[in-house]
Amino acid sequence: DGGITQSPKYLFRKEGQNVTLSCEQNLNHDAMYWYRQDPGQGLRLIYYSQIVNDFQKGDIAEGYSVSREKKESFPLTVTSAQKNPTAFYLCASTPIEASSGNTIYFGEGSWLTVV
Amino acid sequence: DAKTTQPNSMESNEEEPVHLPCNHSTISGTDYIHWYRQLPSQGPEYVIHGLTSNVNNRMASLAIAEDRKSSTLILHRATLRDAAVYYCILRYGNTGKLIFGQGTTLQVKP
């Protein structure tokens, strides 16, 4: 079945470390997104990409980096510059054709905790 | 960018209809309105989406105002399993950017 997969489900980061969250989709979607969710809060956009080798900053991009070398993959790196990275991270994908109003697919999320 | 506004929380009794509002006064002509719901520590689940006309599916109905500046998600008979955070999302037509509202926490009382 087609879908979007995030890994790992749980990740612990030491102070000063960079960590990378994986997001893979086999839906042939052009657009992919990363969101951060703090407990009891809504989703905030970190980065998004509409095409391979191109991506745009969202509302809270500082301390994060992404790459889009392949259509199916959009990994998120949480760098040591991100001072408060403990949160739930969600990846999403959707076809780029806005006229069709296609459904947005979400991964199951990754919990990142600083220890 | 367009923006969405939702009430923080709502309550309903089981078996009764629920109307969840969303304001999106800065919506543009190509923005689709999506509704998703989320349980704790899970990815959001699709509920319904639309552009201009009212929409119905097995889960819910979506009523879109004629000027498209607001919409209402209607759950016809709330069940305990419908308790979740409901998000109104605009899919920004030209860029594909997804704009989330702050979400409405729906409590369903037996």
* Segment A32-70, tens digit of pLDDT: 999 999 988 889 999 999 999 999 999 999 999 999 999
Point out the least confidently predicted range of A18-22, B20-24, B41-45.
B41-45
- For B17, half-sphere exposure in the C-beta direction (CA atoms, 13 angstrom radius) is 7
Strand blocks (E) in B1-110: 9-13, 18-23, 32-38, 45-50, 55-56, 61-64, 70-75, 84-91, 98-100, 104-109
Nearest to B32 among A30, A88, A101 (CB): A101
**The pLDDT of residue A98 is above 70:** no
**The pLDDT of residue A99 is above 60:** no
pLDDT at B61: 97
Beta strands A43-51 and B70-75, pairing class: unpaired
Contact B98 A92 (CB under 8 A): yes
pLDDT at B93: 63
Report, as an integer, the average pLDDT of B6-29.
93
Interface test mutation site (partner B, options A4, A35, A43, A54, max chain B beta carbons within 10 A): A43
Strand blocks (E) in A1-115: 4-7, 10-13, 19-25, 31-37, 43-51, 54-57, 64-66, 76-78, 87-94, 105-106, 110-114
Q: Is A33 on the interface with B (CB under 8 A)?
A: yes
Q: Is A10 on the interface with B (CB under 8 A)?
A: no
**The pLDDT of residue A100 is above 60:** no
**The pLDDT of residue A104 is above 90:** no
**The pLDDT of residue B57 is above 80:** yes
> Which value, to the nearest 10 degrees, does the dihedral of the CA atoms of residues A61, A62, A63, A67 take?
40
**The pLDDT of residue B27 is above 90:** no
Q: Is A43 on the interface with B (CB under 8 A)?
A: yes
Point out the least confidently predicted range of A8-12, A31-35, A100-104, B71-75.
A100-104
